């Protein structure tokens, strides 16, 4: 945490807590029938999202898949608009047209959550092409699950990014299961970063995705390499504490396995590191926990009081 100020460290801690509270509340609202569709929670993976997104510069761009609430929050997008989107309200970031899986914010260079596995990889390639085409100094962070690394888009996008030397960091959030299929049951290559060799691409690290600072450092270095030189494939090794989506019976893993990972909870670990290294006092962290819960409550209130989209909205924004 050498290059991070106390304020930045506390901000990161706050974002992780805010994500956790946001997700817990989302689960509750889903059970009440207020959130519909599919809901994929980020609980357990907060260190990966916060570490990675905090490593970006404001001018950098990023994409992710459908487990997208955490990175949106980490980028500093107002959670009122995010929660309103989850509730399908006209005030949502995507005006109630996208839902949980399709959050985005143009002004934050967040190009969205994408529900087609791997579907965003070529889009990220295209945005990165603009940097080279116009000689602009930005990079693109393209996050994906481990499952996306077996799809055709992965091959075609990584290959083209290497051929054209595009400034992309391909960050695999390896939570060890693509839905319920373990990485080793789905991929011939067990260490996903090794796939970089197939494209003549820089093989990045397998960062500890349960450690926010380790992820931050690794992504920051990878982004610097990508902007200057070309694409990088890296992993953040992480774990989701909850099911793939709501209603996952979790037959593919044991309760003991989940419990073991929960003992290394990334928020608890980071909080402890902050106090041990005297970057924060316990009370400060407790105060942040309370503030996050309040911010989530306020977002829910905003979302619930917001208007629904109307019939006419069905026909808006089909074409420019």
**Chain contacts with other proteins (rule: CB under 8 A):** 61, 92-98, 102, 104-106, 111-112, 114, 116, 119-130, 133, 152-153, 156-157, 159-160, 163-164, 316-320
CA gap 154, 286 in Å, rounded: 42
Q: Give the nearer residue to other proteins in terms of CB position, either 130 or 279.
A: 130
Task: Tell the smallest beta-carbon distance from residue 284 to other proteins (Å).
Answer: 36
> What's the Cα-to-Cα distance from 99 to each of 25, 67, 148, rounded to whole Å?
16, 12, 21
Task: Tell the smallest beta-carbon distance from residue 127 to other proteins (Å).
Answer: 4
CA gap 294, 60 in Å, rounded: 30
Task: Tell the smallest beta-carbon distance from residue 296 to other proteins (Å).
Answer: 22
Question: Count of CB atoms within 10 A of residue 76's CB?
Answer: 15
Q: Give the nearer residue to other proteins in terms of CB position, either 197 or 314.
A: 314
Q: Identify the burial level of 307 via C-beta atoms within 10 angstroms of its C-beta, where 0-12 means exposed, 13-18 middle and 19 or more buried.
A: exposed
Task: Tell the smallest beta-carbon distance from residue 313 to other proteins (Å).
Answer: 9
Task: Tell the smallest beta-carbon distance from residue 91 to other proteins (Å).
Answer: 10
Q: 3-state DSSP call for residue 214?
A: helix
Q: Give the nearer residue to other proteins in terms of CB position, either 227 or 240.
A: 227
> What's the Cα-to-Cα distance from 272 to each of 28, 55, 120, 165, rounded to whole Å?
28, 22, 36, 41
Task: Tell the smallest beta-carbon distance from residue 163 to other proteins (Å).
Answer: 7
Q: Give the nearer residue to other proteins in terms of CB position, either 114 or 261.
A: 114
Q: Give the nearer residue to other proteins in terms of CB position, either 58 or 152.
A: 152
CA gap 244, 250 in Å, rounded: 8
Task: Tell the smallest beta-carbon distance from residue 272 to other proteins (Å).
Answer: 39
Q: Give the nearer residue to other proteins in terms of CB position, either 101 or 236.
A: 101
Q: 3-state DSSP call for residue 171?
A: strand
Q: Identify the burial level of 166 via C-beta atoms within 10 angstroms of its C-beta, where 0-12 means exposed, 13-18 middle and 19 or more buried.
A: buried
Q: Give the nearer residue to other proteins in terms of CB position, either 129 or 258.
A: 129
Tell me which residue of 154, 157, 175, 178 sits closest to 166, measured CA to CA: 157
Q: Give the nearer residue to other proteins in terms of CB position, either 277 or 316.
A: 316
Q: Give the nearer residue to other proteins in terms of CB position, either 85 or 217.
A: 85
Task: Tell the smallest beta-carbon distance from residue 235 to other proteins (Å).
Answer: 22
Task: Tell the smallest beta-carbon distance from residue 106 to other proteins (Å).
Answer: 4
Torsion-angle region of 70 (φ positive above 0: left; ψ -120 to 50: alpha; else: beta): alpha
Bridge partner residues of 172 (DSSP):
144, 235
**Count of H-run helices and E-run strands, the chain:** 11, 8
Helix (H) or strand (E) segment spanning residue 169: strand 168-174
């Amino acid at each position: 945490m050498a290059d991070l100020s106390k304020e930045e460290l506390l901000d990161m801690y706050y974002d992780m807590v805010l994500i956790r509270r946001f997700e817990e509340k989302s689960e509750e609202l889903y059970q009440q029938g207020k959130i519909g569709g599919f809901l994929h929670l980020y609980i357990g993976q907060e260190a990966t999202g916060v570490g990675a997104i905090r490593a970006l510069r404001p001018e950098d761009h990023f994409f992710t898949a459908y487990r997208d609430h955490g990175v949106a929050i980490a980028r500093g997008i107002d959670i009122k608009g995010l929660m309103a989107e989850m509730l399908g309200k006209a005030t949502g970031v995507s005006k109630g047209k996208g839902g949980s899986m399709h959050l985005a914010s143009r002004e934050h260079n967040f190009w969205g959550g994408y529900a087609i596995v791997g579907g965003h990889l070529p889009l990220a390639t295209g945005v990165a092409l603009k940097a080279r085409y116009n000689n602009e100094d930005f990079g693109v962070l393209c996050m994906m699950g481990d499952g996306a690394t077996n799809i055709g888009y992965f091959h075609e996008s990584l290959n083209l990014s290497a051929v054209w030397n595009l400034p992309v960091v391909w960050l695999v959030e390896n939570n060890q299961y693509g839905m319920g299929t373990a990485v080793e049951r789905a991929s011939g290559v067990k260490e996903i970063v090794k796939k970089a060799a197939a494209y003549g691409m820089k093989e990045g690290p397998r960062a500890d995705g349960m450690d926010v600072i380790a992820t931050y450092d690794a992504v920051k270095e990878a982004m610097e390499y990508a902007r200057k030189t070309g694409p990088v494939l890296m992993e953040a090794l992480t774990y989701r504490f909850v099911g793939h989506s709501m209603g996952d019976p979790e037959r593919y893993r044991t309760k003991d396995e989940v419990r073991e990972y929960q003992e290394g909870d990334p928020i608890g670990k980071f909080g402890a590191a902050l106090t041990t290294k005297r970057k924060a006092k316990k009370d400060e962290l407790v105060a942040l926990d309370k503030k996050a819960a309040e911010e989530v409550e306020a977002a829910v209130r905003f979302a619930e009081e917001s208007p629904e989209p109307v019939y006419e909205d069905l026909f808006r924004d089909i074409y420019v």
